[in-house]
């Protein structure tokens, strides 16, 4: 389907080249268009995907499970109580067993090392449905959404405001890979990991992208085409939620921010949203918002990833 991708893992956005990301996006758009026109697909007929969840999720479970069904395959949900990773069994043993019984593995986990170990030992394609370090499937859906609404990726000016978390990491890699300029804007002390800053800027040298980190939201947003945010406290950081509110309050997407951006700017949020914190409700419902297109595209982007990694030649 896409030369060179069959049988590979998707643990990090950096696992795909610029050309491969662009081809996956185009495949996602085609699958979406054909599905909405009533065409059925059987690319993964007879295949089974194991879905490992350490963290609960609405969009990740529904999009992957629905996607496998729409592609003719079957998905098995494995809850945290079904697989106690590293406790009842080693990650290596779980990976080997699932690799002998299924065709694909998707894992939504805490530690990034878990999904790396699954990929190392499974012998079948492993997809990172989220780890504390990266959220690559989300970013493929995000890039698809931007492509659909803006007609291109390269040369656009995007900003991300909020916590320098796993979403920010993958977005930095994705922007760098596709030639999209990105400034990640955080309160002091919440910047992305230095490793990701360094690596994404190195990647950007080959694509003409500019990847920057700032603490000044209004300055960074001047004339921007895209603004993206995420919750201020991610799953596992609930104890910090209250203290973060005071530190992040000037990093909200609202009417004041939109006023300095391009008049045709679009708003992204990977959801769930905490209205009144990282974005106010009114702004989330303006014509600028493509949040629910973005959420839907998790389905189509992940279908494209699964087809690219596992469909028979």
**DSSP conformational letter for 292:** H
Query: pLDDT tens, 177-217?
Result: 999 999 999 999 999 999 999 999 999 999 999 999 999 99
Output the pLDDT for position 270.
97
Least confident of 111-120, 130-139, 198-207, 239-248: 239-248
Beta strand ranges found along 190-265 (DSSP E): 211-214, 226-229
**Structural domains in the chain, sorted by start:** 13-135+298-310 (3.40.50.1370), 138-294 (3.40.50.1370)
* pLDDT at 1 exceeding the cut of 90: no
* pLDDT at 133 exceeding the cut of 80: yes
Average pLDDT, the chain: 96
The mean pLDDT value for 160-178 works out to 98
The mean pLDDT value for 292-307 works out to 98
Output the pLDDT for position 169.
98
Q: What per-residue string of b and e applies to 136-155 under the rule 16 or more CB within 10 Å gives b?
A: bbbbbbbbbbbbbbbeebee
d(CA 220, CA 159): 7
Output the pLDDT for position 27.
98
> In degrees rounded to 5, what are phi and psi of residue 124?
-130, 160
Question: Model pTM greater than 0.85?
Answer: yes
Output the pLDDT for position 87.
77
Q: Enumerate the active-site residues.
A: 108, 135, 138, 230, 270, 298
68 and 74 in contact (C-beta within 8 Å)?
A: yes
* pLDDT at 101 exceeding the cut of 80: yes
d(CA 289, CA 273): 13
Burial of 37 (0-12, 13-18, 19+ CB in 10 A): exposed
Query: pLDDT tens, 225-257?
Result: 999 999 998 766 677 778 899 999 999 999 999
Q: Which residues pair with 89 in a beta bridge?
A: 85
* pLDDT at 303 exceeding the cut of 80: yes
52 and 107 in contact (C-beta within 8 Å)?
A: yes
Sequence-distant (6+) residues with CB within 8 A of 33 are none
Sequence-distant (6+) residues with CB within 8 A of 100 are 123
Least confident of 101-105, 151-155, 237-241: 237-241
């Amino acid at each position: 389907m896409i030369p060179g991708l069959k049988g590979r893992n998707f643990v990090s956005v950096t696992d795909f080249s610029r050309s491969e990301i662009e081809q996956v996006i185009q495949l996602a758009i085609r699958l979406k268009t054909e599905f909405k026109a009533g065409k059925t697909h059987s690319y993964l007929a007879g295949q089974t995907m194991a879905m490992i969840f350490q963290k609960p999720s609405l969009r990740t479970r529904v999009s992957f499970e629905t996607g496998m069904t729409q592609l003719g395959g079957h998905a098995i949900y494995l809850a945290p109580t079904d697989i106690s990773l590293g406790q009842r069994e080693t990650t290596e043993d779980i990976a080997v067993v699932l690799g002998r019984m299924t065709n694909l593995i998707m894992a939504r986990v805490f530690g990034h090392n878990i999904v790396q170990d699954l990929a190392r030992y499974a012998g079948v394609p492993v997809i990172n449905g989220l780890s504390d370090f990266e959220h690559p499937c989300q970013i493929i859906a995000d890039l698809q959404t931007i492509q659909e609404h803006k007609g291109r990726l390269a040369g656009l000016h995007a900003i991300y405001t909020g916590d320098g978390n796993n979403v920010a990491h993958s977005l930095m890699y994705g922007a760098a890979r596709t030639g999209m300029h990105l400034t990640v804007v955080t309160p002091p002390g919440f910047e992305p990991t230095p490793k990701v800053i360094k690596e994404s800027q190195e990647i950007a040298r080959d694509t003409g992208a500019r990847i920057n980190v700032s603490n000044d939201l209004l300055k960074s947003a001047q004339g921007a085409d895209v603004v993206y945010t995420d919750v201020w406290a991610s799953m596992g950081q609930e104890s910090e939620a209250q203290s973060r509110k005071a530190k992040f309050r000037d990093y909200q997407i609202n009417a004041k921010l939109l006023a300095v951006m391009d008049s045709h700017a679009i708003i992204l949020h990977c959801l769930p949203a905490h209205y009144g914190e990282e974005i106010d409700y009114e702004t989330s419902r303006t014509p600028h918002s493509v949040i629910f297109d973005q959420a839907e595209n998790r389905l189509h982007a992940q279908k494209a990833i699964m087809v690219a990694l596992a469909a028979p030649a």
